[in-house]
């Protein structure tokens, strides 16, 4: 008699969890907000990149991480989201796609196919700032803390995307948000 009661309680708890957290999963397994404080530490970020890119200069990598943490915190953007998206867009800072390292464009901002490069930034810090500003444009209508250097900031429908999963077809293709969510999950598992 006790087993059916325990199983019933278990299934009720699962159903309640889906209602509370949505059908996409439980917190920490997707459903990441573009805004807010990230959870990954410098060490987690460093280890995550190194897992996929063993040749990047450590000093450069540490500086990029510092920029992501600082710029994201300053603008109120989730650093986990920005960093994971950068990992996706640059293939873990290998820059073996349309984006080249010298562009300091960490999120594919304004890039196109056929070797047309729209957005280039003079410094790493500027490139990271533009990326974070672009995420903030999607996530909120609040003003920027720094002068805008994102060349596409004004074309975004401000505040139109609150969660990473909703970047599908906004930033890129129909599975884009899920791809970034998986990278965030992997980052946070470091």
Q: Where are the domains of the chain?
A: 32-188
pLDDT band with cut points at 50, 70 and 90 for residue 20: very low
Topology, domain 32-188: Lysozyme (1.10.530)
pLDDT band with cut points at 50, 70 and 90 for residue 190: very high
Give the per-residue SS3 of 144-156: CCCCCCCCCHHHC
pTM: 0.81
CA-to-CA distance for 183 and 130, rounded, in angstroms? 21
Residue 168: predicted pLDDT:
75
Cβ distance 179 to 109 under 8 Å? no
CA-to-CA distance for 95 and 77, rounded, in angstroms? 24
Q: What is the pLDDT of residues 67-94, one digit of tens each?
A: 999 999 999 999 999 999 999 999 999 9
Residue reference for tokens 């410094």: 123
**Residue 46 in this model has a pLDDT that exceeds 80:** yes
Q: What is the pLDDT of residues 114-151, one digit of tens each?
A: 555 578 999 999 999 999 999 999 999 999 999 999 99
Residue 171: predicted pLDDT:
66
Q: How many CB atoms lie within 10 A of CB 51?
A: 12
* Gyration radius of the chain over CA positions: 18
pLDDT band with cut points at 50, 70 and 90 for residue 38: very high
Who has greater pLDDT, 22 or 177?
177
């Amino acid at each position: 008699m006790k087993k059916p009661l325990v199983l019933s309680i278990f299934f009720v708890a699962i159903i309640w969890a889906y209602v509370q957290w949505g059908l996409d999963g439980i917190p920490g397994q997707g459903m990441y907000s573009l805004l807010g404080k990230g959870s990954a530490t410098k060490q987690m970020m460093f280890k995550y990149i190194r897992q996929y890119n063993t040749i990047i200069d450590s000093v450069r990598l540490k500086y990029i991480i510092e920029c992501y943490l600082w710029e994201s915190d300053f603008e109120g953007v989730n650093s986990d989201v920005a960093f994971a998206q950068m990992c996706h867009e640059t293939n873990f800072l290998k820059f073996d796609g349309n984006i080249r390292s010298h562009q300091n464009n960490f999120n594919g901002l304004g890039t196109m196919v056929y070797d047309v490069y729209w957005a280039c930034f003079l410094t790493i810090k500027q490139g990271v700032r533009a990326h974070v500003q672009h995420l903030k444009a999607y996530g909120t209508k609040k003003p920027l803390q720094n002068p805008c250097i994102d060349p596409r900031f004004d074309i975004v429908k401000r505040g139109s995307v609150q969660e990473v999963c909703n970047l599908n077809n906004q930033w890129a293709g129909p599975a884009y948000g899920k791809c970034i969510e998986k990278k965030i999950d992997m980052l946070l598992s470091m």
